[in-house]
Structure formats: C-alpha cells, structure tokens
Amino acid sequence: MTLYKIQRLPPFPSHVTQLSQLAERIQFRRVRCRVRSIGPPMPVIPEIADYEIRRELQRLGHSPGLRRLDTLAHRFLYAEITTPVMHKAAEFWADVRRRGLPTAGDQSLDADAILAAQAVLIGSIGDSVTVATGNVTHLTRFPGIDARNWTTIT
C-alpha cells in the first residue's frame, strides 16, 4: 500500500517555503493511517498547485521563489495534468454544481476540481491518498477525497 500526499496551497507569498517544509516533514516521518501504521508516504506536487503558485511568482518577478519551486518539482513526484484528469475534473465540476455546492464560479476552470481529480486518479487500488490543503471545505465536496489541513499533517 502506498500513501500519497497531494499538496495544495493558496498562492504566494510564503507558500513555496510551506510546501517545502511539509514535503520535508512527510518525507522523514511515518504517517499513521486510520487502521495501521504504514511506510513513509510519497509526497506529490500536483501540476495545478504548481501553476497556482508559479503564476503569482511570475507576476511578482520573484526569481528565487521560482527556482525553489523548480527544485521541488524535481525532488518529489510531480503529478501532471492529463486528459483523464481533466475528464474526471469535468465530472467533479458537474457533480458539485448539481448538488448546489460549487467550489468556483460557473465560468471558472476550478482548480479544486482539477486537484481532486488528480488525487483520485494518482493512486492504485488499496493506496491511501490524502490532500494537504488550506482549503479542506472545498476539497471534501468531491467524492473520495481525504483532505486535511496541511499544518496538521506530519
């Protein structure tokens, strides 16, 4: 069984540092699952989270932050946005709207739906995927998502 941690943070200023700190904590500590203790999780940086942080770093012209973000993408697993991810995100987007629980405006791309789709599709049967986020409320609206505040995950 593999335990994945998908990291999502709101945009800059200090979130590249926070992402790095969380990844370090996850990499070097054992994480307790609901039923039993399992090996060290595999931190994953989803491309949509990279995008959310990178766009703000680009806007601010913050070269050191961009270099650190690039380093993280090479140091840990990097979940790319694929066609299956976008198809699942479209399902999630429609589902939360049908239930009256949208996480973004109707014309929005909805990064939460994309992130949730990445989390659902990244693991294999029997794997545990937890999304480390500052926005638990939005992400738990999507079926099958275990989202926890990133500051509480060790």
pLDDT band at 151 (very low <50, low <70, confident <90, very high): confident
Cα 99–Cα 126–Cα 43 angle in degrees, nearest 5: 85
Tell me what pLDDT residue 9 has.
Answer: 46
Q: Is the pLDDT of residue 32 over 60?
A: no
Tens digit of pLDDT for each residue in 35-92? 233 456 778 888 998 888 899 889 999 899 899 888 887 888 888 999 999 999 999 9
Where is pLDDT greater, at 58 or 124? 58
DSSP state of 61: T
Tell me what pLDDT residue 21 has.
Answer: 54
CA distance 107 to 104: 8
pTM of this structure: 0.74
Tens digit of pLDDT for each residue in 83-115? 999 999 999 999 999 999 999 998 888 999 999
Give kind and range of the element (H or E) at residue 148.
strand 146-149
- Domains of the chain as residue ranges with CATH: 3-152 (3.40.50.1010)
